[in-house]
Each structure stands twice: as structure tokens, then as C-alpha cells.
């Protein structure tokens, strides 16, 4: 039977949507389909992408103590950069052999401009000790690591490094991988050692040999010569990259053509820089290959590509050499996505079962639809705020999951109440939604206001946690629109769904009749007795509150900053003190040791 709205039923957005169910369905499909398409193209990453407002100045000073570095390096840098515009805070660290100054920039300042000014001020410093090396000024950049691989085996360091570079080249050949860097390696170094007796024998000095090496290892453009046949480019190409090439340098030449080469008087060795740090994996020397995500690449795509390349490389390695996964951050991403999907599924199931049991199956279905509509509608809005799908945004979706259908339940229950009073479906939908529209709106606004302070948190943590209120506000806003405009229209119409669920509806009415009898016969008398003894009830509640507070304030509940580590926690990487004489780790992982001095510390990961 067609319903013709009365003049009072035409006014307002709620009444218009109830009387135009096609518009409500189009709005619902727009949110569902648009959100699904937006999710396919939205950026995916492990953690939110943001800029670090920090500049680091590092000055190596080999052999110097922390006190000498503080006086000769750190204080000079601090005085030079402290008064620059855009600098918020300056913190320093003086350690043996090097000093570093971390400069935090004001939020909203021009990072590149301040970085250039800091670099200019550091270059003007003339009071650095003569032994101090060239200062390095670096604008902090957060790289988006996805997976760390460890190439390990009982082979020489040179062979292991060569195999790691080949593995890096193979990884970069995959179209899904753009950036790979080596870690846990020492820089190449060619050492030239000459005994004092050999220098005296040939009448040489160390500075003379050093100047000869510097002049002979040269690659320099010398301009061009224009001729009738064209221009001839002049270039000095005498670059040497290996120790055997330096060994062939002539040091002394006689008039008869005889030569004394550098290799005849010196020991020339291809090797690595002298360092007291080394890396092992399960007790074996290793080299790290750190794979990063760039641009629109997703963590799962990068990790899957890295694992494919790893499997193909392991098939061709000699016995004893293997490439293993040390840390895969895409696993954390997939675990969070799985948790969100699982919670969403159980949320849908609980809403459908409980509301279908106590109210109506058709009403429960449309309330349940509020969850996917709100979430997919939220995905439709996230790109407008430059928010990606990451660990923090998925956590925000999990937080919103328990609140998002509250307004829809209130609206649906009130419409159901008007239907129980005998009103027609359209009138019941309009009257029920209008009656609770004001409290529902203020309820959503209250929830939004509760998350708004996270938008103004300062510093790096503010940039990370700002994702949560953006996601929650987007989902709540879509939920408000769905509960007041789409849901009443579906509850007023949609007879086809009611016919499909007719059998379930009959069984639900039997349960509902039994439930109301229990409420009238048992709960109502109990509630009457509680209301008569209201002071006893209030006193009991206060006593329970005091007991709980006493239990908490009595330090019976342990309080820690972070949860304890366990071997099943893939993102936990604790440090363990170890004997510097032993390279063997207690569990699978990367080991960084300082065998010469100080406490050696080990960083252990999962195998």
C-alpha cells in the first residue's frame, strides 16, 4: 500500500529521505562503492609518513675524550646555531671519538632554509681542533623500512661483502623494490704500510709518498680543444680503485728507465676500515640488507618481492652461506589488518544476533550495515586529509568499531518503539528519528570532541597520533549521516527483506514474548525493591568504588612503561649484555659488539 505523506511529514531532511528511499539507497551505494574504490588506491604503509623537524651535526674527532669533544666541538656548534630563526631546541651528545648536536626546528618553519643556514654557520666555525674531521650536517629524514635480510656464513668478510652487493643488485632489479641499503658493514679501505728502514733506504718521507699517491690517483676534466674536425675533450684518467693498482705506482725512476714501485717498498692491502664493531647472525659473520618502501609501494608487495628474490638467491649460494629474514615489518602490518577484520566480523555478528534476538531481524540487519557503510565512507574521506592505511589508522578504526553503531542502535530502537505503538512504518521512522536526532547529534559531537586534543599534540608524537582523531572523526561523521538519513528510510520501507526473514521473525516473536514475561515477572519486582532501598544501593556502590581504588593505589597492579618482551613478540628487540670474548648470541639475531672497551651490547631479533 502506497503511503502519501501528510504536510507535517514533508519537512526536514529526515522526512525527505524517508519519503525518497531511492536517494537513501544512492547515498548508501556511494559510500560503499566509493569507499571500496578509495581503499584500492589509498597509500599503504607500516607507520604514518611525516617529516622530522630535526637537523643533526656530527663532528668526528678520533682519539678524543668526551670532555675534549665537549669543549672543542660541541660548545662551538651550539653557540653557532642557537640563535638562528626557526631553531626550537638544541641538544648535544659528546662521546669518545665524535660529538653530535641535534637541532629541533620549530613546527611550520621552512626546513630547507633553516638547514642551509645551519650548514653555513657550521662552515664558518674556525675553532675546531686540527685533528677533527669535516663536520657532517644532515637534515633528518625518516626512511620507511619494510624488511631486513641478513646474509650470513662462515666465509671471509670480503667475499661476504661481495655477495651482499650482488644480492642488493638482484633485489633492485625487481620492479617492486626501489631502495636497498647495506648495514652492519665496514667501509672499504686501502692501507699502505712502509717501514722506517725502507724509507731511509730510498731517502723518502711519509708526506712525500702520500703526495705521490694523491697526485697519481686522479681523475680530472681538463676542458676541451677546438679543432677543424671538432672539439676534443681533455681528461686525466688515472683513477685507482684497488690495492694492486696502487702497488704499481712508480715511486723512484732512474734516468736509465729503472723504476721502484710502491709495492716494492710498502705493503699495500685491500681491506676495510679499522673498527671495533662487527655483526653476527647466529654466531656467523653477516651483512644486513635493508629494504625500504618508496612512493606508492605497499609493505606487503615489497616484502613479498624481497622474499622471492631471497629464495632464488639461496638456491645458488654455496653451502654455509644463506640469506635469512631478520625483521619483516609487513608481518606487523598484516597482523593489525587481520585484527581489524576479525574485530569487524565479530562486531557485525554480535549486532546481528543481539538486535535480531531482542528487536527484529530486519532492523538488526540495517543497523549492522551501518558498520561497513561508516568504515568505507571513512576510507572515502581519508585521502582528502592525506591519511594512509597504516598501523595507527587501523588502530583508530578498531577504536571506532565499538562506538560507531551506538547512534544507529538508538535510532533503530526508538523507531521500533513507535512501531510497537501501532504507527505506520513511515510515520514511525520519521517520528522515531526526529525524537532522538538531537541527543544522537550531541553524542557524536561529544565523541568527536574527546579525540580533538590529539590534533594539537606537538612534536613527532603529535604527527603520529594526529591520524587517530582524523580517522575517528571521519567515521563518526559518516555514521551520523547514515543513522539519521539512510537508516530511517530502510526501516520505513524494504518489505522485500522482511519477507525473506519471515521465518526468523516468527521465532524471534516467540522469544520476545517470553523475554517480556520474564521482565514483568522477575525484573520489575526486583527493580521496585532496589528503588525502595536506594540508600543501601548507593552505599554499596561507593564501598565497591573505595575497594577498587584501594587495590589500585596500593600498588597491587604493576605499572610499566612498555610490556615485557617475549620470544613470540616479533616487534620487540631487547638488548642483552654479553661477554666480549664470545660472538655467539643466546638467541637468533644480529649482534653488535665492542670488544675493545666499554660494555658490549647485543641487539637480538627473531630468526
Which of 10 and 580 is assigned the larger pLDDT? Answer: 10
Nearest to 152 by CA among 317, 272, 22: 317
Residue 422, by phi and psi: left (phi above 0), alpha (psi -120 to 50) or beta? left
pLDDT per position as a tens digit, 124-149: 888 888 888 888 888 877 778 888 89
In this prediction, residue 594 has a pLDDT band, given cuts at 50, 70 and 90, of very low
Report the SS3 class of residue 200: helix
Angle, helices 502-518 vs 329-358, to 10°: value is 70
Give the contacts of 46 (CB within 8 A, at least 6 positions apart): 144, 146, 293, 299, 329, 330, 332, 333, 390, 391
pLDDT per position as a tens digit, 176-208: 888 888 887 777 778 888 888 888 887 888 888
Residue 328 clears pLDDT 80, i.e. is over it: yes
Distance between CA atoms of residues 435 and 417, nearest Å: 12
What nine digits make up the cell of 451?
579525540
pLDDT of 129 reads 87
Distance between CA atoms of residues 246 and 193, nearest Å: 12
Residue 450 clears pLDDT 60, i.e. is over it: yes
Calculate mean pLDDT across residues 536-558.
85
pLDDT of 220 reads 64
Give the contacts of 261 (CB within 8 A, at least 6 positions apart): 247, 248, 249, 250, 251
Distance between CA atoms of residues 442 and 603, nearest Å: 50
What nine digits make up the cell of 460?
613527532
- DSSP state at residue 563: P
pLDDT of 1 reads 44
Predicted TM-score (pTM) of this structure: 0.72
Which of 495 and 47 is assigned the larger pLDDT? Answer: 47
**H/E stretch holding 265:** helix 262-265
Neighbours of 106 (CB within 10 A): 13
From residue 49, alpha-carbon distances to 329, 455, 501 in Å are 15, 16, 47
Nearest to 323 by CA among 155, 584, 149, 170: 149
First to last CA, the chain: 68
Calculate mean pLDDT across residues 99-128.
87
Tell me if 246 sits within 8 A of 117, measured CB to CB. no
Calculate mean pLDDT across residues 108-127.
86
Tell me if 60 sits within 8 A of 404, measured CB to CB. no
Report the SS3 class of residue 359: coil
pLDDT of 538 reads 92
Ordered structural domains, the chain, with CATH: 7-47+333-524 (1.20.1640.10), 54-139 (3.30.70.1430), 189-224+231-272 (3.30.2090.10)
pLDDT per position as a tens digit, 378-395: 888 888 888 888 888 888
Averaged pLDDT of the chain? 80
Amino acid at each position: 500500500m502506497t503511503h502519501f505523506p501528510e504536510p507535517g511529514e514533508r519537512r526536514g531532511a529526515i522526512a525527505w529521505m524517508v519519503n525518497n528511499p531511492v536517494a537513501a539507497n544512492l547515498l548508501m551505494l556511494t559510500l560503499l562503492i566509493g569507499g571500496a574504490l578509495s581503499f584500492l588506491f589509498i597509500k599503504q604503509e607500516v607507520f604514518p609518513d611525516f617529516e622530522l623537524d630535526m637537523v643533526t651535526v656530527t663532528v668526528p674527532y678520533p682519539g678524543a675524550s668526551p670532555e675534549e669533544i665537549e669543549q672543542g666541538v660541541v660548545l662551538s656548534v651550539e653557540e653557532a646555531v642557537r640563535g638562528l630563526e626557526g631553531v626550537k631546541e638544541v641538544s648535544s651528545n659528546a662521546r669518545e671519538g665524535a660529538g653530535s648536536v641535534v637541532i629541533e626546528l620549530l613546527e611550520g618553519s621552512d626546513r630547507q632554509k633553516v638547514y642551509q643556514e645551519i650548514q653555513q654557520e657550521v662552515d664558518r666555525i674556525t675553532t675546531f681542533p686540527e685533528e677533527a674531521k669535516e663536520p657532517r650536517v644532515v637534515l633528518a629524514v625518516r626512511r620507511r623500512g619494510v624488511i631486513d635480510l641478513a646474509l650470513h656464513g662462515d666465509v671471509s668478510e670480503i667475499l661476504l661483502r661481495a655477495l651482499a652487493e650482488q644480492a642488493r643488485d638482484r633485489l633492485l632489479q625487481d620492479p617492486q623494490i626501489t631502495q636497498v641499503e647495506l648495514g652492519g658493514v665496514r667501509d672499504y679501505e686501502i692501507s699502505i704500510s712502509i717501514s722506517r728502514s725502507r724509507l731511509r733506504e730510498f731517502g723518502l718521507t711519509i708526506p712525500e709518498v702520500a703526495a705521490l699517491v694523491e697526485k697519481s690517483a686522479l681523475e680530472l676534466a681538463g676542458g676541451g680543444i677546438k679543432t677543424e674536425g671538432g672539439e676534443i675533450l681533455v681528461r686525466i684518467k688515472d683513477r685507482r680503485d684497488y690495492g694492486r693498482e696502487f702497488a704499481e705506482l712508480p715511486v723512484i725512476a732512474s734516468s736509465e728507465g729503472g723504476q721502484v714501485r710502491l709495492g716494492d717498498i710498502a705493503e699495500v692491502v685491500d681491506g676495510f676500515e679499522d673498527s671495533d664493531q662487527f655483526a653476527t647472525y647466529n654466531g656467523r659473520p653477516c651483512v644486513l640488507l635493508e629494504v625500504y618502501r618508496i612512493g606508492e609501494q605497499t609493505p606487503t608487495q615489497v616484502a613479498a618481492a624481497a622474499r622471492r628474490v631471497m629464495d632464488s638467491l639461496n638456491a645458488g649460494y654455496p653451502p654455509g652461506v644463506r640469506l635469512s629474514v631478520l625483521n619483516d615489518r609487513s608481518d606487523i602490518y598484516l597482523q593489525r589488518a587481520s585484527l581489524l577484520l576479525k574485530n569487524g566480523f565479530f562486531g557485525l555478528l554480535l549486532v546481528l544476533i543481539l538486535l535480531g534476538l531482542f528487536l527484529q531481524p530486519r532492523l538488526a540487519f540495517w543497523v549492522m550495515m551501518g558498520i561497513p557503510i561508516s568504515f568505507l565512507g571513512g576510507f572515502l574521506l581519508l585521502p582528502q586529509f592525506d591519511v594512509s592505511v597504516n598501523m595507527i589508522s587501523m588502530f583508530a578504526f578498531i577504536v571506532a568499531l565499538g562506538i560507531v553503531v551506538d547512534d544507529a542502535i538508538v535510532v533503530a530502537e526508538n523507531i521500533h518503539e513507535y512501531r510497537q505503538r501501532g504507527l505506520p512504518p513511515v510515520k514511525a521512522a520519521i517520528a522515531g528519528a526526529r525524537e532522538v536526532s538531537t541527543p544522537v547529534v550531541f553524542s557524536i559531537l561529544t565523541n568527536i570532541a574527546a579525540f580533538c586534543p590529539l590534533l594539537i599534540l606537538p612534536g613527532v608524537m603529535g604527527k603520529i597520533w594526529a591520524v587517530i582523531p582524523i580517522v575517528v572523526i571521519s567515521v563518526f561523521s559518516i555514521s551520523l549521516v547514515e543513522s539519521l538519513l539512510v537508516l530511517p528510510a530502510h526501516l520505513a520501507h524494504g518489505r522485500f527483506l522482511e519477507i525473506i526473514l519471515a521465518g526468523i521473525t516468527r521465532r524471534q516473536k516467540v522469544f520476545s514474548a517470553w523475554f517480556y514475561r520474564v521482565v514483568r515477572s522477575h525484573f520489575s519486582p526486583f527493580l521496585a525493591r532496589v528503588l525502595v532501598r536506594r540508600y543501601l544501593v548507593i552505599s554499596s556502590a561507593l564501598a565497591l568504588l573505595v575497594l577498587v581504588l584501594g587495590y589500585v593505589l596500593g600498588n597491587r597492579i604493576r605499572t610499566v612503561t612498555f610490556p615485557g618482551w617475549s620470544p613470540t613478540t616479533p616487534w620487540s628487540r631487547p638488548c642483552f649484555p654479553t661477554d666480549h670474548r664470545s660472538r655467539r648470541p643466546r638467541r637468533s639475531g644480529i649482534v653488535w659488539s665492542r670488544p675493545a672497551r666499554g660494555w658490549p651490547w647485543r641487539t637480538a631479533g627473531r630468526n
